[in-house]
């Protein structure tokens, strides 16, 4: 066996896992995404050549395995209990008094993560099982899903070089960050799926999926706060209190609570108070603070009731509301022309975040609240991020001090007369070329849900539009450096970066482009489904409503939306304009396409040195387009190396391995771009 190769493989797995720990658990990336990707690709290559080396803790093994039909049941080795709740200081002081009678005055406090309890089992350091709480005695086996959570290590290690326990069972919480929750819901709405009510439901829903590849995309997080079983710690003694527990868990590579406190009751109360005020500034939902007896011997002595341990209490946060005043109502226009009323509030601090605006949803929502400018309102931050007006204190209304909200009779952006739908729910601007709507479409086009153009954000694109640099999305691809430099605060470097990013997006896959068009109901998933049946934009443009409807996942509404979009002359003109500026809408997967006879088809290729006529990424895109696989490192598996100016060690290595090395010109000739 190739011993050194295998050892290299082992250290690459360990290295990648350490980088993942730095990134996902410590939130302190130690290398760039590109460097990580390149190492990851090297690992994939090694595993492709030596499947016999494959380790269960390899980062490539997080997602995989077949779809499950159901979850099997697991009996917990130690029951998973819940906690007694405290809703005010009286309840908590009562708890502290009881503890004091037991001779305990040292406590630990952590945030109470609003997620789903899980139990993880590690045998000889390897994650072998993940389970839900279930009824506390019996839970469900969700190992495949738990493996997809990046902050959960697949193998424990000790940074300090101490022993890893032979058997370790830990308890913790799986949750979703608010940011992830918001983007997930946006994706779901784009796909016409019901949004989740809050991050907790989203996390629970994601953990209970039978297809772990979907769980992986949900990007869950985890935190561990308890040890249920510890055996065979070797030279290491099991932690004796919560502070030691945090240290040991962190040393083993497990994610420990971000915010911690240990000390006397007063210190725990201060910790609670400070997080009660700051909770919305956290990146995730916390619904209270858990206060626990610090040392484990005392815990053991006190034991549990049938439902909960006697040594801990969950001090819940109170719902956060504040009184403020409605200063005005702004009507924001959407891509589709709906005017959404937004309440402008006298700024008020709720849970560490200053709230200035609150959505009123739609015309009907505004009417339902029966609100007037100048009214005192109660604003609430619920589990989600968007604050709501829960109540209008109309009893405080003085006749002369308030005035009704003016419903715009004309669109604030284009002055066309607005229309109310029959059900009197939505107010709309009917003008398809309303600059307000175009602005929103542009914003969407460049956003994360659209073409996701790096370095060209929503604000910048709005700025281009307002300065008259562009009139539609296609115009972006006509912009030159001079245009950019004519703007205020536009430096040379920034201009180059923007042009480079746009250049890269000139080759765009059909699903990505479709999604960026913002056709109602056509998000990534539907766009990909469409591509399975229509290989090119032209084919899709020609498709009849019947053809569209015959596809699974496309009902009459989506088929209608697509037809309406393509039938609109303005949209056909826009598509033509994209083409004329060199935007090529290409198939996502060139391997399944027509170019199997291409000399680059399925060839492993690498670029090195400075290319003269194109950037590295353009070259890679061209190669990928022809069916080649772009890889990161030179090895015997490499088929072709393309060198530019100042090519160094990679070229030398490839030559010494007898791999074909060609110049940029030869590469372009291969592609048929020059002859």
Positions marked active-site:
112
Using alpha carbons, list the distances in angstroms from residue 410 to 398, 486, 549.
Answer: 30, 34, 37
For ligand IVH, the closer CB: 240 or 386:
240
Residues of span 257-276 touching ligand IVH by CB under 6 A: 257
Q: What sign does the dihedral 272-277-280-281 (CA atoms) show?
A: negative
- Minimum CB separation of residue 386 from ligand IVH in Å reads 24
**Of positions 173, 440, 475, 620, contacts ligand IVH by CB under 6 A:** 173
By CB under 6 A, is residue 476 in contact with ligand IVH? no
Residues of span 209-238 touching ligand IVH by CB under 6 A: 225-226
By CB under 6 A, is residue 199 in contact with ligand IVH? no
Q: What is the C-alpha to C-alpha distance for residues 653 and 21, in angstroms, rounded to an integer?
A: 32
DSSP state of 535: -
In which residue are the tokens 């500026």 written? 581
Q: Within a 10 A sphere around the Cβ of 386, how many other Cβ atoms? A: 11
**Of positions 110, 221, 285, 440, contacts ligand IVH by CB under 6 A:** 110
For ligand IVH, the closer CB: 226 or 276:
226
DSSP state of 641: E
By CB under 6 A, is residue 285 in contact with ligand IVH? no
CB 557 within 8 A of CB 581: no
Euclidean distance between the first and final Cα of the chain, in Å? 47
Question: How many secondary structure helices (H) and strands (E) does the chain include?
Answer: 24, 26
- Minimum CB separation of residue 307 from ligand IVH in Å reads 9
For ligand IVH, the closer CB: 312 or 640:
312
**Of positions 20, 117, 329, 641, contacts ligand IVH by CB under 6 A:** 117
For ligand IVH, the closer CB: 83 or 414:
83
**Of positions 14, 49, 81, 462, contacts ligand IVH by CB under 6 A:** 81
Q: What sign does the dihedral 361-365-366-369 (CA atoms) show?
A: negative
For ligand IVH, the closer CB: 110 or 295:
110
Task: Name the percent of the chain in helix, strand, coil, to the closest 5.
Answer: 40, 25, 40
**Of positions 165, 265, 309, 609, contacts ligand IVH by CB under 6 A:** 309
Per-residue binding string, ligand IVH, 329-368, x by CB under 6 A, is ----------------------------------------
By CB under 6 A, is residue 282 in contact with ligand IVH? no
- Minimum CB separation of residue 561 from ligand IVH in Å reads 43
> At residue 67, what are phi and psi to the nearest 5 degrees?
-65, 135
CB 657 within 8 A of CB 640: no
By CB under 6 A, is residue 198 in contact with ligand IVH? no
For ligand IVH, the closer CB: 170 or 314:
314
Per-residue binding string, ligand IVH, 523-562, x by CB under 6 A, is ----------------------------------------
Taking alpha carbons only, the member of 517, 510, 507, 513 closest to residue 562 is: 517
In which residue are the tokens 């799926």 written? 193
Q: Which long-range contacts (CB under 8 A, 24 or more apart) does 332-336 make?
A: 333/411, 333/412, 333/413, 333/429, 333/434, 333/436, 333/437, 333/440, 334/437, 334/440, 335/437, 335/440, 335/441, 335/444, 335/518, 336/428, 336/437, 336/520
By CB under 6 A, is residue 242 in contact with ligand IVH? no
307-315, 370-378, 503-511, 553-561 -> range binding ligand IVH (CB under 6 A):
307-315
By CB under 6 A, is residue 314 in contact with ligand IVH? yes
Name the 3-class secondary structure at 250.
Answer: helix
Which residues contact ligand IVH (rule: CB under 6 A)? 81-83, 110, 112-113, 117, 173, 225-226, 257, 290, 309, 312, 314
């Amino acid at each position: 066996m190739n011993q050194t190769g295998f050892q290299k493989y082992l250290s690459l797995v360990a290295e990648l896992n350490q980088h993942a720990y730095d990134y996902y658990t410590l939130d302190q990336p130690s290398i760039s995404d590109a460097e990580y990707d390149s190492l990851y690709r090297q690992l994939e290559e090694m595993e492709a050549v030596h499947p016999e080396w494959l380790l269960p803790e390899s980062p490539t093994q997080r997602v995989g395995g077949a779809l499950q039909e159901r979850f099997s049941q697991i009996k917990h080795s130690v029951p998973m209990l819940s906690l007694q709740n405290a809703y005010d200081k009286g309840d908590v002081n009562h708890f502290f008094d009881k503890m004091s009678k037991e001779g305990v005055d040292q406590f630990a406090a952590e945030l109470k993560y609003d997620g789903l309890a899980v139990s993880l089992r590690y045998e000889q350091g390897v994650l072998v099982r993940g389970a839900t709480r279930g009824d506390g005695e019996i839970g469900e086996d969700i190992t495949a899903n738990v493996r997809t959570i990046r902050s959960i290590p697949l193998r424990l290690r000790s940074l300090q070089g101490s022993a890893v326990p032979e058997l370790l069972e830990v308890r913790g919480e799986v949750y979703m960050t608010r940011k992830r929750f918001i983007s997930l819901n946006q994706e779901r709405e784009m796909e016409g799926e019901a949004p989740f009510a809050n991050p907790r439901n989203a996390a629970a829903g994601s953990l209970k999926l039978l297809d772990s590849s979907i769980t992986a995309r949900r990007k869950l997080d985890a935190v561990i706060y308890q040890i249920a079983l510890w055996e065979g710690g070797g030279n290491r003694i099991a932690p004796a209190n919560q502070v030691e527990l945090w240290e040991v868990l962190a040393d083993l590579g497990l994610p420990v609570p971000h915010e911690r406190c240990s000390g006397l009751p007063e210190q725990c109360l201060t910790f609670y108070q400070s997080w009660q005020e700051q909770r919305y500034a956290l990146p995730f939902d916390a619904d209270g603070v858990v206060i626990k007896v610090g040392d484990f011997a005392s815990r053991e002595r006190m034991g549990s009731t049938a439902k909960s341990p006697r040594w801990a209490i969950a001090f819940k946060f109170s719902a956060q509301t504040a009184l403020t005043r409605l200063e005005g109502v702004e009507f924001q226009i959407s891509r589709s022309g709906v005017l959404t009323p937004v309440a402008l509030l006298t700024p008020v601090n709720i849970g560490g975040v200053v709230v200035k605006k609150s959505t009123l949803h739609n015309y009907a929502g505004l009417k339902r609240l029966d609100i007037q400018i100048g009214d005192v309102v109660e604003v609430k931050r619920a589990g989600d991020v968007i604050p709501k007006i829960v109540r209008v204190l109309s009893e405080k209304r003085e006749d002369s001090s308030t005035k009704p909200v003016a419903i715009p009779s004309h669109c604030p952006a284009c002055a066309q007369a607005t229309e109310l739908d029959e059900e009197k729910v939505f107010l709309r601007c009917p003008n398809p070329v309303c600059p307000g709507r175009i602005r929103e479409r542009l914003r969407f086009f460049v956003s994360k849900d659209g073409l996701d153009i790096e370095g060209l954000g929503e604000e910048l694109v709005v700025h281009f539009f307002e300065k008259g640099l562009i009139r539609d999305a296609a115009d972006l691809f006509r912009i030159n450096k001079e245009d950019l430099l004519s703007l205020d605060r536009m430096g040379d470097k920034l201009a180059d970066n923007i042009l480079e990013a746009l250049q890269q997006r000139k080759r765009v896959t059909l699903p990505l482009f479709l999604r960026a068009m913002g056709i109602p109901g056509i998000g990534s998933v539907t766009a990909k489904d469409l591509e399975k049946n229509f290989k090119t934009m032209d084919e899709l443009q020609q498709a009849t409503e019947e053809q569209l409807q015959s596809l699974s996942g496309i009902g009459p509404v989506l088929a209608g939306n697509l037809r309406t979009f393509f039938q609109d002359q303005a949209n056909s003109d826009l598509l033509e304009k994209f083409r004329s500026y060199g935007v090529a809408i290409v198939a996502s997967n060139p391997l399944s396409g027509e170019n199997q006879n291409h000399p680059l088809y399925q060839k492993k290729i690498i670029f090195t040195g400075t290319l003269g006529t194109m950037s590295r990424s353009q070259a890679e895109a061209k190669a990928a387009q022809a069916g080649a696989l772009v890889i990161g490192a030179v090895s015997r598996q490499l088929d072709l190396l393309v060198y530019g100016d100042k090519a160094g060690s990679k070229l030398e290595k490839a030559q010494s391995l007898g791999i074909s090395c060609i110049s940029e010109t030869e590469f372009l000739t291969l592609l048929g771009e020059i002859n």
